[in-house]
Amino acid sequence: MKKIKVLVIFGTRPEAVKMAPIVKALKSDEQNFESKICVTAQHRDMLDQVLRIFDIEPDYDLNIFQSGQTLTGITCRALTGLETVIEEFKPDLILVQGDTTTVFSGALAAFYHQVKIGHVEAGLRSGNLLSPFPEEANRKLTGVLTDFHFAPTETSRANLLKEGYENSKIYITGNTSIDALKWVIDADFRFKEEILNNIDFNNKKVVLLTSHRRENIGEPMENIFSAVKEIVDENLDVEVIYPMHLNPKVREIATRILGNMERVHLIEPLDYLPFTNLMAKCYAVVTDSGGVQEEAPSLGKPVLVVRKETERPEGIEAGTAKLAGVDKQNIYNELNNLINNKEEYKKMANAVNPYGDGKAAEYIVDAIRKNML
Ligand code: UD1
Ligand code: UDP
């Protein structure tokens, strides 16, 4: 019997985390699938961290990363590299995940070679083409080229239907980030970083901070960090941990505003295992990340989303996430509320999971089998 040839393409940290369960599901059915992995390596260190944790060895590594890379540069290098890979492997289906420039380039390369496309995490929309930038455009552009839309929730399906996509091409699967998360949390987890083992998670209010979005770089990010700084100055029981993204522009703002503070720990990006276990131990999360917005509700952690809008309204509707915007006073007020208002904290600290039952990869692979065998 002829096997379905699937090329799984990804390039950045979050895509690797969310593709890992699919990679495993495809490999566990070698009778029906011949799957290969191609990393563009739009990220290098931050991608390799995830590949190590999930024990994934790419068949193709385009190694396109350049420090200070531009969107055009990433797109051109990815497209050129992918052409060679597609011509060599001749896949029946290409899978891309999310909304990065690797995703759009992967979908475009597939389309140019008339290979079918499966878009994992399809249908997320903020409603503002400029925020997140360029991700909202990447999602929409990828959607136009996609054959199988793997939408995580009813909300994402509704977004696709509104744009005129056929219901028969949309599959509600949940988000594979939840599949990955269930493998990793361990109550007795010990960190490699002694600084983290020494934190008193029981008596301190430990806030986990992440921020990296392109549209936040500049004044919005200054506002986020300044609000956090003020909260730390005023509350002696608050400690902040910020595993800084490797983008030098982000690091400059973070070290300028939050550097040299006794109760703020600016550390290197963590591997996925320590990061998620840190999230499980912390008091609350402040983030502009997409993936972290999905993970924190599952772990019962209140999340302040420091963005103007979100494509993940499910956490907000479930009551564990709040859109805090990028205005300093507003972020200060919301964080102050979480730190000093017990009732408000309790209301938000509920473990809910609007993003699926942890079997998204299984549903995705099943849909491919049913449609392509
Ligand atoms: C990219 C994605 C974004 C995603 C984020 C996840 C695009 C346009 N953006 O943003 O959607 O949320 O990844 O983290 O696709 N860098 C390193 N080493 C690394 C990775 C990054 O040094 O391993 C530094 C480099 O200086 C690089 C900069 O970070 O130029 C930005 O990386 P880039 O991939 O262009 O964008 P991100 O902001 O990481
Ligand atoms: N993450 C990680 N180490 C860190 C910060 C985040 O492993 O120091 C993981 C996190 O658990 C989530 C993903 O990386 O699965 C989110 O990536 P990021 O915030 O960079 O991208 P986004 O989700 O915003 O696209």
In DSSP notation, 49-60 reads HHHHHHT---SE
pLDDT at 77 over 80: yes
* Predicted local confidence at residue 75, as pLDDT: 98
The pLDDT tens digits for 94-150 are 999 999 999 999 999 999 999 999 999 999 999 999 999 999 999 999 999 999 999
Q: How far apart are CA 199 and CA 277, in angstroms?
A: 13
List all residues 6 or more positions away from 54 whose beta carbon is below 8 Å from its beta carbon: 16, 17, 20, 23, 24, 180, 272
What would the two tokens of residue 49 be?
A: 């961290």
- Is ligand 1 within 6 A of the CB of residue 164? no
Using pLDDT thresholds of 50, 70 and 90, give the confidence band for residue 184. Answer: confident
pLDDT at 1 over 80: no
Ligand nearest to C-alpha 217? 1
Sign of CA dihedral 330, 335, 337, 343: positive
For residue 122, the CA-to-ligand 1 centroid distance in Å is 21
Using pLDDT thresholds of 50, 70 and 90, give the confidence band for residue 63. Answer: very high
List all residues 6 or more positions away from 77 whose beta carbon is below 8 Å from its beta carbon: 40, 62, 64
pLDDT at 30 over 80: yes
- For the segment 46-60, the average pLDDT, to the nearest whole number, is 97
Q: How far apart are CA 157 and CA 159, in angstroms?
A: 5
- Within a 10 A sphere around the Cβ of 329, how many other Cβ atoms? 11
pTM value is 0.98
pLDDT at 182 over 90: no
Q: From atom 31 of ligand 1, which residue's Cα is the shortest distance away? A: 247
The pLDDT tens digits for 233-288 are 999 999 999 999 999 999 999 999 999 999 999 999 999 999 999 999 999 999 99
- Is ligand 1 within 6 A of the CB of residue 79? no
- Is ligand 1 within 6 A of the CB of residue 49? no
Alpha carbon 169 to its chain centroid, in Å, reads: 24
The pLDDT tens digits for 284-337 are 999 999 999 999 999 999 999 999 999 999 999 999 999 999 999 999 999 999
For residue 291, the CA-to-ligand 2 centroid distance in Å is 6
List all residues 6 or more positions away from 343 whose beta carbon is below 8 Å from its beta carbon: none
pLDDT at 189 over 90: yes
- Of ligand 1's listed atoms, the one at least distance from the Cα of 46 is 23
Percent over 70 (pLDDT), the chain: 100
Q: How far apart are CA 257 and CA 153, in angstroms?
A: 38
Angle between helices 101-112 and 135-145 (to 10 degrees): 20
Ligand nearest to C-alpha 293? 2
Q: How far apart are CA 307 and CA 334, in angstroms?
A: 13
**Contact (CB, 8 A) for 325 and 331:** yes
Using pLDDT thresholds of 50, 70 and 90, give the confidence band for residue 351. Answer: confident
For the chain, give the mean pLDDT. 97
What would the two tokens of residue 67 be?
A: 């420090």
Q: How far apart are CA 212 and CA 207, in angstroms?
A: 17
For residue 198, the CA-to-ligand 2 centroid distance in Å is 23
- Of ligand 2's listed atoms, the one at least distance from the Cα of 180 is 15
Order across the sheet with 60-61: list the strands: 60-61, 33-39, 4-10, 93-97, 116-120, 148-151, 170-172
- Of ligand 1's listed atoms, the one at least distance from the Cα of 68 is 30
Using pLDDT thresholds of 50, 70 and 90, give the confidence band for residue 187. Answer: confident
pLDDT at 183 over 90: no
Angle between helices 101-112 and 71-89 (to 10 degrees): 40
* Predicted local confidence at residue 122, as pLDDT: 98
Order across the sheet with 321-323: list the strands: 264-267, 238-243, 205-210, 284-287, 303-305, 321-323
Active-site residue numbers? 99, 121, 135, 212, 214, 245
- Of ligand 1's listed atoms, the one at least distance from the Cα of 12 is 13
* Predicted local confidence at residue 39, as pLDDT: 98
* Predicted local confidence at residue 269, as pLDDT: 98
